[in-house]
Amino acid sequence: MKDTRMLIACMIAALTTAIAIAVLRRFAEPLGLVDRPNERKHHVGHVPLIGGLAIFAGVLAGAFWYGKFGPFAKVLLGTSAALALLGALDDRHDLSVRVRLLVQTAAILTVIATTGVYIHSLGHIFGYELELGWLGIPFTVVAVIGLLNAFNMMDGIDGLAGSLALVSIAAIMLFVGPAPIQGVLALMTLLAVAAVPYLIVNLGFTGRKIFMGDAGSMVVGYLLAWTLIRLSEQPQMSLSTVDVLWCVALPVLDTLAVMYRRIRQGKSPFKPDRGHIHHILMGLRLGPRSTLIALVALASSIAFLGNVVRALGVGTGLNLVAFCLFAMIYIAVVTRIWSHQQQSSSSLRTQAANDDRIHQNLTIVRNIRPDASQPNG
């Protein structure tokens, strides 16, 4: 009976998302929810930013039908609605970083205050229980904000943020094992199903595409972050804090690599640029679709690697060491490739400028008229 109820909830979620896409697309332009090309965005035309709102509508409809959620999931959905509104306003008005961080922090603190759920411990590391005490509250705020903004940063090519969300959800199910689909796992199932109609439209299989927008990337990262925190705080789920990192490794590593590079250059880590992993792969002459496939394969491989490391029974401490080593290798390789691309691009620009100067000088020489000779006698 429970499986039937969940199945119907999933069908409702997918159908609601599809209907919401059709309805919201018509109102995107009047509401100002459109993405226009600029120096960083190279898409063609004005694209509606309503995918995230449609996905969240699907999740809400499915959750309403399913109904069997505890206080934590209900508070999580309520604060997610606030973030969806924040994301829509950001898509419309381009809000400042300070405003976004304040609202995100308020949503997280609301969950903590009303449910008591936050990161109490980092687990047993080399035989020591790393209890955080009251420091767990600010640590949770930073962790959730970090992940939701990591998904926001990864939303750079068609299908990437949505596909990586599906990979993360699949990784969670893999790490948790054959646990009952209830609570936050039921929310993750609804999120995965609701994302499918969006991905079909976003990837252009039905004609005019749409984008997820900040409303979508914020909510997706927020729901994933709290799901991982909730599961890691439940001993029966056998999901350690390090396992959490493997589940969302690619968005986290890309964010760390970008922030490391920006700080090393003396720039703000929050200043947007075209230095993310998807930009780097396209700089290697991969097309957007090939880049999407490559990154989904990479994210899946990393999650599978994490599961293999855990299956070896090395313990949380060595598991953390393995993740840190992988992170350092990833950041070093990606940073090196990006630096090489920047040097090549700079050399090409310099050569082009020199060619322009040579061409201008030749043009000037050709246009100089010789002095007319004076006639004799």
Per-residue pLDDT, 373: 43
Contact 319, 242 (CB under 8 A): yes
Contact 370, 309 (CB under 8 A): no
Residue of 24, 1, 39, 53 lying closest to 219 (CA atoms):
53
289: which residues sit within 8 A by CB, 6+ positions away?
158
Per-residue pLDDT, 46: 81
Contact 238, 183 (CB under 8 A): no
Rounded distance between C-alpha atoms, residue 226 and residue 115, angstroms: 12
Report residues of the chain scoring pLDDT below 50: 1, 43-44, 372-377
241 burial (CB, 10 Å; 0-12 / 13-18 / 19+) is: buried
Residue 180: what are its φ and ψ, rounded to 5°? -60, 140
Rg (CA), the chain: 25
Per-residue pLDDT, 103: 97
Residue of 217, 227, 220, 221 lying closest to 69 (CA atoms):
227
Per-residue pLDDT, 1: 44
Rounded distance between C-alpha atoms, residue 267 and residue 225, angstroms: 27
Say what the pTM is.
0.89
Residue 272 three-state SS: coil
pLDDT digits (tens, 9 = 90+) for 251-288: 999 999 999 998 888 887 777 778 899 999 999 999 99
